[in-house]
Amino acid sequence: MDSKKNRLGLEMTPYRGGKTTLCAGCGHNAISERIIEAFFEMGVDPKQVVKLSGIGCSSKSPAYFLGGSHGFNSVHGRMPSVGTGAMLANRKLIAIGISGDGDTGAIGIGQFVHLMRRNVPLIYIIEDNGCYGLTKGQFSPTADIGSVLKNGIVNDLQPIDSCTLAIQLGASFVARSFSGDKKQLLSILKAALGHRGTCMIDVISPCVTFNDHEGSTKSYAYAKEHDEVLGDISFVPFFEDISIEYDPGTTTQVTLHDGSKLYLKKLAEDYDPTDKLAAISLLHETARRGEFATGVLYVEPDKDDFVTLLNLVDEPLSKLPLSRVRPGPEVLDQLMESLR
Amino acid sequence: MVINDFSIQVATVNGSGSQTANLVLLRSIFQMGVPVSGKNMFPSNIAGLPTWYTVRANKDGYVARKKEVDFLVAMNGETAKEDVMSLEPGRAVLYDEPLKLNALRSDLIFYPVPFDKIVATVCTDAKLRRLVKNMIYDGVLSKLLGIEMAEMEKALRKQFGKKAKAAELNLGALHAGFAHADAHLPKMDPFTVERMNTTSNMVLVEGNAAAAMGCMMAGVTVVAWYPITPSSSLPETLIGYMRKYRMDKETGKATFAIVQAEDEIAAIGMVIGAGWAGARAMTSTAGPGISLMGEFAGLAYYAEVPGVVFDIQRVGPSTGLPTRTAQGDLAQVAFLSHGDTRHIMLLPSSPEECYTMAMAAFDLAERFQTLCFVLSDLDLGMNTWMSERFKYPEQPVDRGKVLDAPTLARLGSEWGRYKDVDGDGIPYRTIPGDNMPAYFARGSGHNERGQYSERPDDYQNNVDRLARKFETARHYLPKPIVEDADAEIGIIGYGTSHYAIAESRDQLSGEAGVTTGYLRLRAYPFPEEVVAFISRYPRIYIVEQNRDAQLRMLLKMEIPGELISRLRSVLHYNGLPIDARSVTDDILVQEGKKARATARPEVTAGVTAGAGE
């Protein structure tokens, strides 16, 4: 089955990872599979990819995909800073960070905020199950009001909506999906690979062990029932020179940074994913109905990313030879003279 | 006559422009070839609180703070009384006339100066007078102390740089002060500056600026930092240098990334991400930032990621005294983070060492694939020091063991990210994007191949190798400076304590006939020389600027048990830079050659909040 090759001539093998140690049926495993497919199909060179994560069940998952890529499982809630440093060191890298709702919404909310604000080129996935799985099921900050733990404790705190937050903070690509929606998640991931800037993707990913019971708003049953799909997403990568037949009245087209095209069909209420206010308003409206909107919620294809804002040289900083990073003796002389 | 051997203390209010006048005073004495040092004792505040600046001129080259003030310039009514009352008899006081300080004591020499009247004659803009006023005392001092006016003018122009208009205004004040002294203040004190020839090839520089130069010359490419006193001037000076000297000539783009992070945790996280991805990365902070970086420091140690961290130490637990100096982070940094963690530390004692050790730190961090901490302090980092000119680095940089194709061909399947193939504890690392074998860096348990492992043998083998690597580092670090002598006692110190120790050794031998050997440490883990040194003297005084004898504690862990009882401590921890007299007195008391005096704690140079706080 691995005989299929992508546009780099690579087989699926380097895109696969180690055997998962997460629970059978865990939504996170489905996300790992979509990541493998997306990176393979987009022909991303695994050698140029860095996988980053914090701590938690979600953060273990980078070991389960892209085995041919470098990975860094860092500290709880601080993956954004590690990813930022890596992208500054080598702007040619393609970074994918995996976080969870606790890793992002609780201990990591500070770094999350500033990652979005800087628009660091990085795909940031929240594997969102509304609970702390690895420490056995405590509430996370995305747990909905009224969620009930197995021991009967009810959550009565307002959940954090990571998508609303990300849009407001300056992320240039914000999406939400459901780990069970293979087609949509794959399209979103491929589109994210065509975008330059922070891609924040919140993926509802039920915890089969601690949060898949009745009363949980992050259960498979609840998610399937309340998933407000914005519309069909079609993604055409830049290297596939085809155009999609579409009826101009019902389809919105977005050209991404690398020339790839994103088609959003049959959108509710003529949804415009480049309209920030519309995106935030949609998120609030669906939340009020107890639903969650999925799809590409917001995209700003031309926004400068952090590397561009810093005016870095084209080559990776980590690869600059000494002659370009150590000024000559005349500079030291000049400095010494100024101090006499 | 007391020639080239006295200290001047200027007591003003911060935010009044006095720092410029003080630096002009310092620089003009320096330009006359006389060894000089300046210590700024300032409050944690922007404007309106008392601040003190001490300039010491010393023909013998002693640059430590001198505890006794010989010449007081009292500009601040709020502290003037206490400042005057703490002087020894026979000292001089230049004061703002309305303060009427001459009524306080009859055993001092007083020079009243009507600053407001004089400034009104040279500055028509009333709003600027407050800022120009201070230059008047420089003019008065020029006349009274014999500091050549031409040197004062030169120093003033240098201090103002391109701000010609401000320079002219201040020159007027300088001359007016001189004229006032000439007409109204006959010389009554013995203190005089006379031209020497000791500083002609030297520069005046702050340790933080020197460290910034070292970082630039080391080829740093990623800098992440968060503002904190007394560290901020290091990255800020570095930003200035990099924007001037490190823009790519062809494209005009930056060969560096400097990020003001959201906090110290993010700053060290960016450093670690960048170091992992192959960049030379650094941050700079002070004690509170070091505390925040603890968890990440353990990750860098265990996942073996290079990075450089400057700790410009300040005083105290918690917020402490943010604008005062100490050596209080030594123990915390040595073990920063939980579990069994150890870190390499470099201990500069001069701006020149800030410069050379900055370069060494990047080499060591990459050679040992770990964080390298450089422990400076506020006194070294923010005060102005005389220094020999820095030398241009002759050596290329050491990027450490990075796996390349020939090495991979040689090692074959023997290569593992955390495998010790050379017997020195240092494995070969690979860097993302290099097309070498990938690995998964993690803070969780791992085996030689970087795979997740909770096996007892994997864990223990790995941390034993890390200990071996730390042992290897011991031999790579800057050696201590040892001055052995056929002496009764030994002294060990490091960092800015050096200057008080050097002067104290002369006091000990000159005044009490006590001869000393001296070892100045420059790095941790400590070199073998330290054990040999301790073995040679029956009593060893460890001089440091903290309460808990942190250096002695670290030494005790490493030296043979029978030597431990030889160690004694001289501790200084009131926030002011350590002075020689305190060291000398303490050692003589412990040697039984002097009775312990009733301690008279230093009360000046400190703010107490009013009733509102």
Q: What is the pLDDT of residues A58-79, one digit of tens each?
A: 999 999 999 999 999 999 999 9
- In the predicted structure, residue A197 carries a pLDDT above the cut 70: yes
The three-state secondary structure class of B197 is coil
**Cβ pairs A/B, distance under 8 A:** 207
Q: Which tokens in the block code for residue B319?
A: 């917020």
A74/B269 CB distance under 8 A:
yes
In chain A, the residue whose alpha carbon lies closest to the alpha carbon of B437 is: A68
Instruction: Please state, in angstroms and rounded to a whole number, the distance separating the CA atoms of residues A253 and A235.
Output: 10
Which among A88, A320, A324 is the nearest to B274, CB-wise? A88
DSSP B564: G
Q: Which tokens in the block code for residue B106?
A: 């009859």
Other CB atoms within 10 Å distance of the CB of residue B248 = 16
Over chain A, what HEC string results? CCCCCCCCCCCCHHHECCCCCCCCCCHHHHHHHHHHHHHHHCCCCHHHEEEEECCCHHHHHHHHECCCCEEEECCCCCHHHHHHHHHHHCCCCEEEEEEEHHHHHCCCHHHHHHHHHHCCCEEEEEEECCEECCCCCEECCCCCCCCECCCCCECCCCCCCHHHHHHHHCCCEEEEEECCCHHHHHHHHHHHHHCCCEEEEEEECCCCCCCCCCCCCCCHHHHHHHEEECCEEEEECCCCCCCCCCCCCCEEEEECCCCCEEEEECCHHHCCCCCHHHHHHHHHHHHHCCCEEEEEEEECCCCCCHHHHCCECCCCHHHCCHHHHCCCHHHHHHHHHHCC
Arithmetic mean of pLDDT, A217-233 = 83
Over B139-161, what HEC string results? HHHHHHHCCCHHHHHHHHHHHHC
List CB contacts of A180: < 8 A, sequence separation 6 or more.
Answer: A27, A30, A220, A223, A224
CATH code for residues B2-194? 3.40.920.10
CB B261 within 8 A of CB B226: yes
pLDDT-wise least confident of A239-253, B57-71, B136-150: A239-253
Cβ contacts of B261 on chain A, cutoff 8 Å: 81, 114
- In the predicted structure, residue B432 carries a pLDDT above the cut 50: yes
Instruction: Please state, in angstroms and rounded to a whole number, the distance separating the CA atoms of residues B310 and B234.
Output: 9
What pLDDT score was predicted for residue B55?
98
In chain A, the residue whose alpha carbon lies closest to the alpha carbon of B393 is: A329
CB A315 within 8 A of CB A129: no
CA A55 to chain centre: 16
CB B432 within 8 A of CB B438: yes
The total number of residues shown for chain A amounts to 340
Phi then psi for B594, rounded to 5 degrees? -160, 140
B61 part of contact set with chain A, CB < 8 Å: no
Q: What is the pLDDT of residues B196-251, one digit of tens each?
A: 999 999 999 999 999 999 999 999 999 999 999 999 999 999 999 999 999 999 99
List CB contacts of B602: < 8 A, sequence separation 6 or more.
Answer: B67, B574, B576
Q: Which CATH architecture has domain B481-590?
A: 3-Layer(aba) Sandwich (3.40)
Return the bridge partners of A124, or none: A97, A200
Listed residue (A325, A329, A319, A90) closest to B218, CA to CA: A325
How many angstroms away from the CA of B84 is the closest CA of chain A?
34
Instruction: Please state, in angstroms and rounded to a whole number, the distance separating the CA atoms of residues B79 and B13.
Output: 10
CA B520 to chain centre: 15
CB B328 within 8 A of CB B550: yes
Cβ contacts of A85 on chain B, cutoff 8 Å: 222, 224, 269-277, 279, 281
What pLDDT score was predicted for residue B596?
80
To the nearest 10°, report the CA torsion of B486, B487, B492, B497.
Answer: -110
Arithmetic mean of pLDDT, A214-226 = 82
What pLDDT score was predicted for residue A1?
47
Instruction: Please state, in angstroms and rounded to a whole number, the distance separating the CA atoms of residues A165 and B287.
Output: 33
- In the predicted structure, residue B80 carries a pLDDT above the cut 90: yes
Q: What is the pLDDT of residues A107-116, one digit of tens each?
A: 999 999 999 9
B206-388 belongs to CATH 3.90.226.10: no
What pLDDT score was predicted for residue B579?
97
Do B2-194 and B206-388 show the same overall fold? no
CB B567 within 8 A of CB B540: yes
Listed residue (B53, B91, B56, B204) closest to B576, CA to CA: B53
Interface of B with A in 237-256 (CB under 8 A): 241, 245-246, 248, 251, 253-256
Arithmetic mean of pLDDT, B261-275 = 98
Q: Which tokens in the block code for residue B302?
A: 């265990």
Cα→Cα distances A240→A191, A237, A257, Å = 13, 6, 15
Listed residue (A39, A48, A1, A41) closest to A17, CA to CA: A39
Task: Please report, as a single letter, which amino acid is at residue B415.
Answer: W
List CB contacts of B538: < 8 A, sequence separation 6 or more.
Answer: B488, B489, B566
Give the pLDDT band of residue B59 (cuts 50, 70, 90).
very high
A74/B452 CB distance under 8 A:
no
How many angstroms away from the CA of A92 is the closest CA of chain B?
8
Return the bridge partners of B65, or none: B579
Phi then psi for A286, rounded to 5 degrees? -70, -35
Look at strands B440-442 and A70-73 and give their pairing: parallel
Residue B230: cis peptide before it, omega within 30 degrees of 0: yes
- In the predicted structure, residue A241 carries a pLDDT above the cut 80: no
Other CB atoms within 10 Å distance of the CB of residue B97 = 16
Return the bridge partners of A296, or none: A175
What percent of chain B stands above pLDDT 70? 98
* Dihedral sign, Cα of residue A236, residue A48, residue A68, residue A198: negative
Q: Where are the domains of chain B?
A: 2-194, 206-388, 405-474, 481-590
- Interhelix angle B164-184/B115-122, rounded to 10 degrees, is 130
Give the pLDDT band of residue B491 (cuts 50, 70, 90).
very high
Instruction: Please state, in angstroms and rounded to a whole number, the distance separating the CA atoms of residues B334 and B313.
Output: 14
CB A122 within 8 A of CB A87: yes
* A317, A322, A333, A337: best to mutate for the B interface, most B CBs within 10 A: A317
pLDDT-wise least confident of A283-297, B293-307, B354-368: A283-297
What pLDDT score was predicted for residue B45?
86
What pLDDT score was predicted for residue A242?
66
Instruction: Please state, in angstroms and rounded to a whole number, the distance separating the CA atoms of residues A59 and B424.
Output: 33
Q: Which tokens in the block code for residue B546?
A: 């903290």
DSSP B464: H
How many angstroms away from the CA of B349 is the closest CA of chain A?
19
Listed residue (A73, A72, A144, A81) closest to A110, CA to CA: A81
Which among A86, A111, A317 is the nearest to B432, CB-wise? A86
CB A320 within 8 A of CB A313: yes
Instruction: Please state, in angstroms and rounded to a whole number, the distance separating the CA atoms of residues B376 and B312.
Output: 5
Instruction: Please state, in angstroms and rounded to a whole number, the distance separating the CA atoms of residues A147 and A151.
Output: 11
- In the predicted structure, residue A246 carries a pLDDT above the cut 70: no
CB B517 within 8 A of CB B487: yes
Cβ contacts of A69 on chain B, cutoff 8 Å: 432, 438
Domains annotated on chain A, with CATH: 13-309 (3.40.50.970)
